[in-house]
Structures are given as C-alpha cells and as structure tokens.
Copies of this chain bind each other. A is one copy, B any other.
Amino acid sequence: MHRYERLADHLRERIQAGYYRPDDRLPSVRALAESHGVSLSTVQQAYHQLEDAQLILARPKSGYFVSPQRERPALPPVGRTAQRPVEVSQWEQVREGTCILPDTEIFHLGRGMPDIDAPTLKPLLRALSRVSRRQDLVGLNYDTLHGRPELREEIARLSVGHGCRLHPDELVVTTGCHEAISIAMRAVCEPGGIIAVDSPSFYGALQSIRAYGMKAMEIPTDPETGISLEALELALEQWPIRAIQVTPTCNNPLGYTLSVERKRALYALAQRFDVAIIEDDVYGDLAYAFPRPVTIKSFDEDGRVLLCSSFSKTLAPGLRLGWMAPGRYLERALHMKYVGTGSTATQGQMAVAEFIREGHFEPHLRRMRRQYQRNRNAMLDLIAEVFPLSTRISFPEGGFLLWLECDASVDTVALNTRLMTEGIRIAPGVMFSATGKYRSCLRLNYSLFDAATRQAVKRIGAILSESDPATAEDRIRASVLQESLSS
C-alpha cells in the first residue's frame, strides 16, 4: 500500500466513524503533512482519493470539507412474504435473462456484471496468456478435486481480511459461486427439506432450491438492517428448517450489510436451532467501508457455516472461478463437487493465483470500490432526477446493484419486455421472490456509469413517468393550464 493510501484509509475511517462529521472542515494540507510526517503531495494525493470517492469536497480557497449528508430518497418497504415454506417458481424470467448473448444489449443493467475494463485487471489477462504458454502443461491436466493448492493458499491468506483464518485444506475451488451454493445446499439439505432465505433474494440461490426439490422459507428483510431475526426465529421454531441461506454483506439485491452484532445474533440462532448457515459473500470484498465487514464464518466455532464466494464480481465472471469453505460438511461437499463438475478448469485457477500473489488484487479492489461508490452516488442523483417521485430506492453499502420499488401500478416484467425492444434490459423484481412477488420492483446495475447507461436510465425514467399517477396528474394540470391560456 502506498503512503497516501494509508493516509486516505485513516481519514476515511475517521469520517465513517463520525469523528469528522458532514460539512466539517478537514485539517489543512500543511497541518496534516506535519502531524503525519509526510510530504505535502502525499496529503494532496490522499485528499484527491477521498474526493474521488465523494467522501470529501474541495471548496476553492477554503480547503477540504466532509461531504454534506446525502439527501437519501425513501427506502423500499420491508417485503411481505408467505409465512410458510413454498416451492420456487419464476424460472422463465431467470432463464430469459441468462440466455441472451452479452454482446447484444445494454446487458449489464440487468445482470450482476462487474466492470471488466479496468486497467488494474490487465495483469490478469497477461497471467492468463502466460499460463497458456507454460511448457509443463499442468493447465491441461485434471486438477485435484479440492482445486489448485497455490490458489487455495492465496484465498486462505486473504481470509484474514474478513476475520477468518482459513486453512487451504478446508477450501474447495468451484465453478463460480453458483456451484458453491449449489453444493452447499445439497450438502446440508435433502430433497423436500426447507431452506430459509432473505427476501428479496438472489435468484440463483432460489432456483437451486427449486432444482433440488427443496422448499424456500422466505424471511422478511429490511433494506437497511437486513434479514429480520425476529421473523427468522419464529420460522425456526415453527418449521423443520435445515439451513439459512443469506448474503449478509453487500446484499444482492438490497445492498445492506448486516451489522456485526446482527451477524453474531444470526449465528447464535443457527446454533440454538442447530441449523447450517450458507453464507454468500460474493460481494463482500466490494464493501465501500474500510476495513471490509467480517463474515459470519469468522464466528464459526463448530463448522456449521458454509462460506461461498467467487472472483466473478471482483475480477471477471467469465472465468467461472469460485470457492467455498464448507466447514464440517467438507466431505459431503467434495462428493457433490465430484459429481457436479469433477474438478474446476485448471488454467484460470493458476492465473488468478499468480495475479493475487503478485499483489495485483488489493489495488484492483481499491479502485473498483471507489468507482462503484462514485457510480452509486451518480446513479442515485440521476434517478432522483428522472424517475417518478414515488420511486423508493435502496442505499447500497457496497457492490454495484440498486433495488427500486416503483408505484404499485407498475409491472416490471412488462416494463422489461418493452425495454428489450429498445435494447435495454433490467432485472424484474419477481425473479428475486420464490412466488412472483415484487412485481413493481426492479434491480439496476451501476458497475458502469457511461453515456449508454445514463441514456438507458433516462429512458426507463421516461417510460415510468408516462404512466405514473402523480406525473399524469401534473400533465393533466399542465394541459388544463395550457387550454385556459390558449382560450
């Protein structure tokens, strides 16, 4: 880490902890340089980085200030879920979204696609190319069932960052986080069994529950504080639930991060009712706060947490490279891994291990976190401008996904169908429910905030405003006014 980055992290922490408050004036460049024993340009670089992340503002001639508290639009309300385990439907919507070619549309708006065009990713392309030219041909051979040792070592080393001390031997490399979740479910639950999930929830996990003949017990989830522990406890008392499947850090689609206390409480509940936790941490490394939030796995004393993740959101999804730490279910997980795919493609593993070992991962993450946080703010501003006033919007603490609730009259499946004719694609809310709820919700991706994205968001806003009751009323009033003026 560079000196200026260390300083920026120091300041960021103090801002996030409330030591410096919104609109506070920050120390002068000279004062900071003296107190930290660094050069003026180091302080300047640190301030630029925080400015870039929109945490602070420069006011000409008066110095740097903490950014004013953002006017946050209203959050979506807590969803109402069925109060019993249900079968999962909605495959048609999911299928439709995953069967299109990525090159044909404004694709990323509808999918969980990261920005793969960052310069900090270039060393990965070079590593991939190098691995293909290796003379020992290891990359062409069957890998072991666990995955390449050099990759598992790097993942274990990085796990300290989220409060774990994983050993390479407790890890299984997988074909994306998809396979990790799919293995985890089968490792802890039989067909017919019940899995509790946060709601709205990642559709991939819901569809796995469907495919393996299990049932989903959807737990109401607050867009700010996360899965309701009270509702979860009630469900655990009433139903023979086998596992809790959650994305507690930078949740997809809601964007919340469960607080440490609530993570602990969730773990305690799982212990009390003796159920497993399937923890999806696929966006965890993209939390805007520093240091990144800990995983529930970090509290795991008895191996009941199956931590699942991948490099799909942090590096590139086309690699299909994920991993899991299945705790006490390691043996079952290995069996499921074996029958599912045999082993994971070898070359990608070797390249990513090299990329991390050579120190390219952390700088890349830093860059992406800043970009995504900046994009979130810009996206929120744009939506506030072009969407109907009735729209409720999530406030993500990491990742690059936004959840919106439109007026109750809006059907986002129909909206998506209409948008597709214009080459735009969103993720309709029904995909995130087991039973087709969230019909007036949608998820947008802000990993990119380029001209095409802005154009598309404006277009969505325009279509929604057409039919919005409030906007329509305004329009009637305007035309009445016009008539009275022209008469």
Q: Given B111, B312, B338, B341, which contacts A207 in the complex, CB threshold below 8 Å?
A: B338
| Stretch with Cβ within 8 A of B (4 or more), from A36-44, A314-322, A361-369, A401-409 | A314-322
Q: Which residues of B contact A191 (CB under 8 A)?
A: 191, 213
A441 at interface by CB-CB < 8 Å: no
Interface string of A244-284 (1 = CB under 8 A from B): 00000000000000000000000000000000000000000
Interface string of A328-362 (1 = CB under 8 A from B): 00000011101111111111100000000000000
B142 touches A317 (CB 8 A): yes
Known A99-B145, A137-B117, A144-B101; judge A320-B344 contact (CB<8 A). yes
Q: Given B99, B145, B149, B345, which contacts A345 in the complex, CB threshold below 8 Å?
A: B345
In A153-186, the 8 Å CB interface with B consists of 175-176, 178-179, 182, 186
Measured CA separation A341–B339 after assembly (Å): 12
Q: Other CB < 8 Å A-B pairs besides A129-B129, A138-B318, A341-B341, 16 of them?
A: A95-B334, A113-B141, A116-B137, A143-B318, A175-B320, A175-B342, A176-B341, A204-B342, A208-B339, A210-B335, A211-B335, A318-B346, A319-B347, A320-B346, A340-B340, A345-B348
Q: List 23 A-B contacts (CB under 8 A).
A: A95-B145, A95-B335, A98-B145, A99-B334, A121-B140, A128-B347, A175-B175, A175-B345, A178-B340, A191-B213, A207-B335, A207-B338, A208-B339, A210-B339, A211-B335, A211-B336, A211-B338, A320-B342, A320-B344, A320-B345, A321-B345, A345-B345, A347-B348
Measured CA separation A212–B140 after assembly (Å): 29
A79 at interface by CB-CB < 8 Å: no
Interface string of A95-131 (1 = CB under 8 A from B): 1001111110000000101001100010001001100
In A86-102, the 8 Å CB interface with B consists of 91, 94-95, 98-102
A342 touches B176 (CB 8 A): yes
B140 touches A204 (CB 8 A): no
In A185-207, the 8 Å CB interface with B consists of 186, 190-191, 204, 207
Q: Given B94, B98, B129, which contacts A132 in the complex, CB threshold below 8 Å?
A: B129
Q: Is the interface of A mostly helix, strand, loop or mixed?
A: helix
Measured CA separation A312–B142 after assembly (Å): 9
A133 at interface by CB-CB < 8 Å: yes
A125 touches B117 (CB 8 A): no
User: Least Cβ distance of A278 to chain B in Å?
Assistant: 14
Q: Which residues of B contact A321 (CB under 8 A)?
A: 345
**Number of residues from A at the complex interface, CB < 8 A:** 66
A439 at interface by CB-CB < 8 Å: no
Q: Which residues of B contact A340 (CB under 8 A)?
A: 175, 178-179, 182, 340-341
Measured CA separation A149–B320 after assembly (Å): 18
Ordered nearest first, which 3 A-B pairs have the shortest CB separation?
A140-B316, A318-B346, A128-B132
Q: Which residues of B contact A334 (CB under 8 A)?
A: 95, 99
Q: Which residues of B contact A335 (CB under 8 A)?
A: 91, 95, 207, 210-211
A73 at interface by CB-CB < 8 Å: no
User: Least Cβ distance of A101 to chain B in Å?
Assistant: 6
Q: Which residues of B contact A179 (CB under 8 A)?
A: 340-342
Q: Given B125, B146, B348, which contacts A99 in the complex, CB threshold below 8 Å?
A: B146
Q: Given B212, B320, B342, which contacts A178 in the complex, CB threshold below 8 Å?
A: B342
Measured CA separation A121–B334 after assembly (Å): 31
A139 at interface by CB-CB < 8 Å: yes
Q: Which residues of B contact A116 (CB under 8 A)?
A: 137, 140-141
Q: Which residues of B contact A149 (CB under 8 A)?
A: 101
Q: Which residues of B contact A142 (CB under 8 A)?
A: 98, 102, 111, 113, 312, 317-318
Measured CA separation A204–B335 after assembly (Å): 10
User: Least Cβ distance of A141 to chain B in Å?
Assistant: 5
Measured CA separation A346–B346 after assembly (Å): 13
